Homo-oligomer: A and B are copies of this chain.
Amino acid sequence: MGFLSEIPDVTFKKPLFCAILGNTLLSTVPGVSGAGSTPDNTLLTPILDAELIVQGAITSYPIKPNTPTGCPTPASITRSMMELCNLHPLFVNAGLRHSPTIPCFDVYGEIGEDPRFHNAVPRAQDLYDQGKLIGKALSDFSDLLVMGECVPGGTTTALCVLRTLGYEASVSSSFVDNPVTRKEEICRIALARVMADNITVPIDILKYTGDPMMPVATGIASTYTGHLLLAGGTQMLAVSAIIKGMELDLPSVVTTSYVRDDPSANVEQIARQIGVKMFYVDPGFGEIGHAGLARYCIGEVKEGMGAGGAMCLAHLLGYSPEEIRAKILQTVSAYS
């Protein structure tokens, strides 16, 4: 395939990139999330990523924008695309442990609880309603919305939500070695709670076992009047599955080819089951001349912070794959 598996059939005048930030306590369970140098530091990742994208550098903490294994974070890819396209991204705070260091559209949610032991998002309905208000506001400001997310631990909540909805899902991971056993075990315990209470209404599934990003994203999708592209992998498929469950209009999903090609996940199969249109970006990180980026190709990181969607948007705005790759290389090299 080329840079994009297929060119989305959208016409637009005013594109907007936004990303929803959230935490779930699941990311602090050792081994679940690779998005942070320690399990507790995963809770900081959304705000540091947002700071990097807006400011071009992380100054609030002495942390480099690389993963614990030295790969450039997806946020640095998103940053480079915002610079290339001269776009001002918008961040939505769906529920975080720590205060963001840059302005966010805030819905005043809480960090998601561990769905094994508690309802994960007690105020899911509220967050959905707040998302609806944000979707209306963003409709005033744009006619194409590329919406990513940053929720460390979020592939595990995605697994719980997709399974509860009856999809035969295996979800992706930022680790090369997807901690499948651990995720499956969490999912098994969380689903037992869901089944015991006979929960089938989509918003209640999010309440029991989702994360704060999901109801906010669903609310935005329900009222946004322009063209919506959900930017992410299995987490955005979980959002799509909820949107379908609520019988709302399905948006499309855009992610990287690295997520699609994750042998431990089954992204294409889940998308087919949901009936959601997928677009894949293959940025060719193997040939870019950067060891850290090349590791995306062997299954590390893969996606995050709407990086796939940001590259897709740059392409829709007329930038060639070569220009996009050159800008990414320039950006991540400056951070190394």
A residues neighboring B (CB under 8 Å)? 16, 54, 88, 90, 93, 99-108, 130, 133-134, 136-137, 140-141
Contacts and interface: CB of A to CB of B under 8 A. Distances in A.
A102 B130 contact: yes
B102 A103 contact: no
A136 B88 CA distance: 8
A106 B133 contact: no
A99 B107 CA distance: 9
Given A99-B108, A103-B105, A103-B107, A90 B54 contact: no
Contact of A133 (B93, B103, B141): B103
B54 A133 contact: yes
A99 B54 CA distance: 25
Nearest to A137: B88
Given A93-B106, A103-B106, A106-B106, 15 more contacts: A16-B140, A54-B133, A88-B137, A88-B140, A100-B108, A101-B108, A103-B105, A103-B133, A103-B137, A104-B105, A104-B106, A105-B105, A105-B106, A140-B141, A141-B141
A54 B129 CA distance: 12
A260 to B, nearest CB: 32
Q: Which of A16, A133, A136, A140 has the most CB of B within 10 A?
A: A140
A316 B232 CA distance: 42
Nearest to A54: B133
| Copies of this chain | 2
B130 A90 contact: no
A133 B90 contact: no
Nearest to A131: B103
Given A140-B141, A141-B140, A141-B141, A134 B88 contact: no
A101 B130 CA distance: 9
A105 B133 CA distance: 13
A197 to B, nearest CB: 28
Nearest to A136: B88
Contacts of A137: 88, 90, 103
A103 B130 contact: yes
Nearest to A107: B103
A213 to B, nearest CB: 14
B141 A103 contact: no
A54 B106 CA distance: 15
7 contacts: A88-B137, A90-B137, A101-B108, A103-B133, A103-B134, A103-B137, A105-B105
A136 B86 CA distance: 12
Contacts of A93: 106
Nearest to A108: B99
Contacts of A133: 54, 102-103
